[in-house]
Structure 1
Amino acid sequence: MHTAYVHKAAAAGGRAARERRKRFRMNLPLLILFAPIAAFFIIFKYAPMAGLVIAFKNYTFYDGIWGSEWVGLHNFEQLFSNPQTLSIIRNTVLLSCLNIVFGFPFPILLAILLNEVRRQWFKRLVQTLVYLPHFLSWVIVGGMVVTIFSQETGIVNHLVKAWLGEPYPFLYKDGSWIAIFVGSGIWKGAGWGAIVYLAALTTIDPHLYEAASLDGASKWRQIWHVTLPGISSTIVVMFILTLGHVMEVGFDHVFMLQNSVVSGISEVISTYIYRVGLQGAQFSLTTAMGLFESLIGLVLVLTANRIARRLGQSLW
């Protein structure tokens, strides 16, 4: 009886091994396609994390990463004892939160509006127009913004001067600079971000709209009770991913629009790392800042996902 059990277990193990080999052969093309992506993240995302040890050392080119003197938390103490650091973190959080508050809902709204368009030629035209800014670099977009809002030669100020007699320094006032920063980010990214929500909208059963229409629901009621619940899981996932970048305000975006007059509001972590780390060669100090930025992003993602899990719509 024991021998029969052993043979049966061996046969079951053999079948399981054959099934694994079969699944591997079936998935081999997908694994080959995934290999370059995995290599990219390993080489450019995970391997450089070993360099974070610089944050705890007095790094010099001569001694290298591993030969430099270990200083423990000295770089963090120096960083947070500087009053400018709190201002930089405040600016980063402020601009990121404004991008989320005003920028995050915009792709959702755009996707819903495009989904309601029934004339396909008009829908394709609008989609093309709103997607195009995504493919422009921030160098081009920044040049366009400066051209439009420049105090002396800007198109907008030509109209302002004609109406009010005096041009307005849009790019040199904190409030207007923030508005231009947030608005240009929405203009550049909303069309591309809407693609995700348009894909999610295709998964909603059309019969739900028919049932809601038969019940007398208006178009706004259908959007509120059918469309938004249908893409709620996608919205939650995108929101969690967005929170992970709260401490990251795009360097290109800020750098192309900032100037010395509004440095009090436009100096953020990414520009600080460029100015102090690359231009000032204080690599240990800015690595400490980058590590702090990453840790805050990680905490925010984990917190948001934990809250979403209680609502039954977590990322993992």
Structure 2
Amino acid sequence: MSPENQSHVSKFLLLGLPIRPEQQGVFFALLLGMYLTTVLGNLLIILLIRLEPHLHTPMYFFLSHLALTDVSFSSVTIPKMLMNMQTQCQSITYAGCLSQVYFFIFFGCLDSFLLTVMAYDRYVAVCHPLHYTTIMRDELCIILVAGCWFFSCAQALLHTLLVDQLSFCAGTVIPHFFCDLAVVLKSSCSDTSLNELLILTEGGLIFTLPFGGILGSYIRMAVIILQVPSFKRIQKAFSNYTSHLSVVSLFYSTAIGVDLCPPAAPAGGKDRVFSMMYTEVTPMLNPFTYSLRNRDMKGAVGKVLSLASLSGLRIQHCHEL
């Protein structure tokens, strides 16, 4: 099949998940439930942080942006996949594919950067507690978040523009449930050596530097905490940071799983399974991790529920009168 310029390729074919036809209905309901849980759980975190004054701290400011990023990250791929499963139409337009490439990289990088900023916030709280309020000023928090958004946008734009310069064969099949950058490059008819070199070098730095910063911050925090003579204080200190550490572990373990899987290996579909963990399971579990392991969040949930029930009783009492 002769290669055509990308401007003449109107659509691609997505293979989707390796699911048997008779199991489509069950998996559609399961994935839809997981996606709705992700959206509602993360939006609840954002709402609680906005409503509760005692949650207006740097840590929860960063957490609200992380929750928004998780909702957006899942929304890049899951709705299109669910629509394809429901309509039995696996095609995606060229513009839609490029959009998925851009926003997947954008929100994936933003997730990583925000986790790094949150680790820095915890590092300052543990290692420099007396100077925490002066260091983590509102201006610095805004600058850090703005920097995360800017560099994520630049990273995504760079890779997307390079993909837009490639040529694709007519009727290109992408062995995935979304347009993952590595799989799209494998499906191209052009020379992708520059794209792959950029992923290996610049993309590697984007992955390793935040992870190294998070790891270094927690090692330093562990050293400081273990110097505290009281066992109860050590236990309390570690319990305060297990939520963020759990989210970091889940995010990077699934990301490493995706990177270790060979791209465009449709036979076993392991790359698509790891990608599903990365794009849907991790964002879905983050709200539970922060709400179940965080006393402030559980207190905020209880307070909001109490206010809601009290308002309901007042309305009912007014109707009775």
TM-score, scaled relative to structure 1: 0.28
Normalised to the residue count of structure 2, the TM-score between the two structures is 0.28
- RCO higher in 1 or 2 (8 Å CA, sep ≥ 6)? 2
Please say which structure displays the higher CA radius of gyration: 1
